[in-house]
């Protein structure tokens, strides 16, 4: 008599290319999963149902952004839905997972689903279309759901965030673009300090529609897509999802877009400016401190460094290069450190966003020194 969890389903996916074994897709109905989250008694008094604005003062001078429903995108979506409708803002995320290591090295890419309505909730396109079709239908016509206390809501399910940890993630971010200055700063677009127009849903779908090449001819199709700076994906899963805009739902995440970006770019610039031997020596003589990683052997030859290691190096880098690098170079690196730490604020407000913009402007003002010193050689040219 206890309520059951969403049941598993299995479907065989056909392919025009031969495979060693049939491709089987295992999935659960996403609407049933959302309904299970939405009605879970554990989330009683932990759910938001309507967009709202929070300010620090009664004069409404500084706005605070604690949850997704406090942002402008939520307000815009709510105005486009029927009166009395509830926005169930859907989060998707995917990460490569090793299922077996010693017996076949099986790898899977599970798709995870969550709700931003829950306070502080963190969590191949045909397959996605099959799995997400019920969510797309619910986003179009809505679905009746019961909350933890039994109240009935007419719910719509727009896609608000899609977090991916795959080699294609960076390309997706580059292709689809960003919208708000805050999101632009998080993605660290350093090419110039001009906010380019967002590569929105309508622009992307329009470019795809103009490509008159058979998608099965991969080489020719990829070449045609390159002219529009597209990554070659035919019929993206979100094209039939109402209110889903890649310029909004493709969000950054701190591990790769901040900490690993620092390790792959900023740190390599510092090594070339200061010198590997000198930088390693400076790290090795630091006083060990409880709670902080001590790099007794230096950092230039670290193997299999994790995100935690990248984060620990960030804590020292400005002080380490002081006195050994040109002043403008130190200012540029310092500005990027300020940007990353400000972006990690759990409750950003308008004042924090202004500080992020100033840090990014400071970097643009001093970034020429990176090119002048030739420090991007051997890594990647500053974006």
Question: Does 319 reside within a domain?
Answer: yes
Using the predicted structure, report yes or no on whether residue 99 has a pLDDT greater than 80.
no
**DSSP string for 129-155:** HHHHHHHHHHHHH-EEEE-TTS-EEEE
Provide the pLDDT for residue 196. Answer: 63
289 and 221, same domain (yes or no): no
Single residue among 222, 249, 276 that ends a domain in this structure = 249
Between the alpha carbon of residue 344 and those of residues 110, 122, 310, 376, the distances in Å are: 26, 14, 15, 26
Using the predicted structure, report yes or no on whether residue 188 has a pLDDT greater than 50.
no
54 and 77, same domain (yes or no): yes
144 and 262, same domain (yes or no): no
Question: Does 379 reside within a domain?
Answer: no
Q: Can you tell me the mean pLDDT for 153-178?
A: 62
Is 0.75 surpassed by the pTM of this model? no
218 and 278, same domain (yes or no): no
198 and 343, same domain (yes or no): no
Residue 100's CB is within 10 A of a number of other CB atoms, namely 10
201 and 282, same domain (yes or no): no
188 and 327, same domain (yes or no): no
* Chain centre distance of CA 101: 28
Which own/partner pairs from 313-318 qualify as long-range (CB within 8 Å, at least 24 positions apart)?
Answer: 313/262, 313/263, 313/267, 314/259, 314/262, 314/340, 316/283, 316/286, 317/262, 317/266, 317/267, 317/270
CA distance 127 to 112: 14
Single residue among 249, 270, 291 that ends a domain in this structure = 249
324 and 192, same domain (yes or no): no
Tally of domains within the chain? 2
pLDDT tens sequence across 274-311: 888 998 899 888 888 887 788 888 888 887 777 778 88
Question: Does 377 reside within a domain?
Answer: no
Question: Does 79 reside within a domain?
Answer: yes
169 and 296, same domain (yes or no): no
CA distance 219 to 215: 9
27 and 172, same domain (yes or no): yes
pLDDT tens sequence across 71-93: 888 888 888 888 888 888 888 87
60 and 207, same domain (yes or no): yes
56 and 171, same domain (yes or no): yes
Selection from 129-143, 166-180, 245-259, 369-383 with the highest mean pLDDT: 129-143
Mean pLDDT value across the chain: 78
Provide the pLDDT for residue 335. Answer: 92
What domain range is 319 assigned to?
254-372
């Amino acid at each position: 008599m206890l309520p059951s969890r969403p049941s598993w389903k299995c479907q065989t996916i056909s392919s025009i290319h031969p495979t060693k074994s049939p491709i089987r897709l295992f999935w659960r109905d996403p609407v049933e999963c959302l309904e299970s989250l939405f009605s879970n008694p554990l989330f009683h008094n932990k759910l938001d149902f309507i967009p709202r604005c929070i300010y620090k003062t009664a004069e409404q001078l500084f706005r605070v952004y604690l949850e997704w429903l406090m942002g402008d995108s939520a307000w815009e979506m709510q105005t486009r839905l029927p009166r009395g409708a509830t926005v169930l803002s859907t989060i998707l995320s995917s990460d490569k997972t090793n299922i077996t290591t010693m017996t076949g090295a099986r790898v899977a890419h599970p798709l995870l689903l969550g709700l931003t309505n829950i306070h502080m909730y963190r969590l191949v396109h045909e397959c996605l279309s099959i799995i997400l079709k019920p969510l797309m239908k619910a986003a179009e016509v809505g679905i009746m759901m019961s909350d933890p206390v039994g109240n009935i809501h007419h719910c719509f399910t727009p896609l608000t965030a899609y977090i991916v940890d795959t080699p294609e993630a960076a390309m997706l971010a580059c292709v689809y673009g960003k919208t708000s200055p805050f999101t632009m700063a998080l993605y660290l677009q350093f090419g110039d300090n001009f906010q380019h127009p967002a590569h929105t849903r309508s622009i992307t779908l329009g470019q795809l529609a103009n490509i008159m090449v058979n998608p099965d001819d991969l080489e020719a199709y990829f070449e045609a897509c390159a002219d529009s700076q597209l990554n070659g994906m035919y019929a993206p899963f979100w094209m039939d999802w109402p209110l889903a805009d890649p310029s909004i739902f493709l969000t950054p995440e701190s591990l790769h877009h901040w900490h690993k970006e620092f390790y792959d770019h900023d740190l390599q610039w510092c090594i070339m400016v200061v010198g590997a031997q000198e930088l390693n020596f400076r790290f090795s003589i630091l006083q060990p401190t409880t709670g902080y990683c001590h790099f007794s052997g230096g950092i230039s030859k670290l193997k299999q460094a994790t995100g935690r290691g990248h984060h620990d190096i960030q804590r020292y880098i400005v002080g380490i290069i002081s006195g050994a690098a040109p002043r403008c170079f130190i200012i540029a690196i310092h500005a990027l450190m300020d940007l990353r730490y400000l972006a990690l604020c759990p409750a950003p407000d308008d004042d924090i966003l202004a500080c992020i913009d100033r840090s990014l402007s400071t970097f643009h003002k001093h970034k020429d020194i990176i090119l002048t010193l030739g420090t991007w050689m051997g890594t990647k040219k500053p974006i």
